[in-house]
Chain A
Amino acid sequence: MAALLPREGIRLGLKAADRFDAVRQSGQVLVEIGAVEAPYVDAMLERERQISTSLGEGFAIPHGTDASRGWIRETMLSFLQFPEGVAWDDGEVIVCVGIAAVGDEHVGVLASLARILTVPEQAARLRAAERPEDVLSLLGSNEETKR
Chain B
Amino acid sequence: MAIQGTDVRKVVVACEAGMGSSVLLVTQLRDRLKGTEVVVQHSPVSQIPADADVIVCHRGLEATARGVAPGKVVVAFSMFLGDPAFDRVVEAIREGKALEG
Contact = CB atoms under 8 A, between A and B. Distances in A.
B61 interface: yes
Contact of B27 (A47, A99, A144): A144
Contacts of B21: 53, 55, 61
Chain A interface bracket (under 10, 10 to 19, 20 to 34, 35 or more): 20 to 34
Interface string B18-31: 11110111111001
B79 interface: yes
A4 interface: no
Interface in B5-42: 16-21, 23-28, 31
Contacts of B16: 47, 50-51, 65-66
Contacts of A100: 19
Given A47-B16, A47-B17, A66-B16, A61 B24 contact: yes
A115 B31 contact: yes
A122 B26 CA distance: 20
Contacts of A66: 16-18, 44, 46
B70 to A, nearest CB: 20
Contacts of B17: 47, 63-66, 68-69
Contacts of A114: 23-25, 27-28
A56 B23 CA distance: 16
Name the residue among A66, A106, A107, A144 with the largest chain B CB count within 10 angstroms.
Answer: A66
A144 B15 CA distance: 21
Nearest to A103: B19
A115 B27 CA distance: 8
Interface string A44-81: 00010011011111000101111011000000000000
Interface of A: 47, 50-51, 53-57, 61, 63-66, 68-69, 90, 99-101, 106-107, 110-111, 113-115, 117-118, 144
Given A50-B60, A68-B17, A100-B19, 11 more contacts: A53-B20, A55-B21, A56-B79, A56-B80, A64-B19, A65-B16, A69-B17, A111-B23, A111-B27, A117-B81, A144-B27
13 contacts: A50-B60, A55-B24, A55-B81, A56-B79, A66-B17, A66-B44, A99-B20, A101-B19, A110-B24, A111-B26, A113-B24, A114-B28, A115-B28
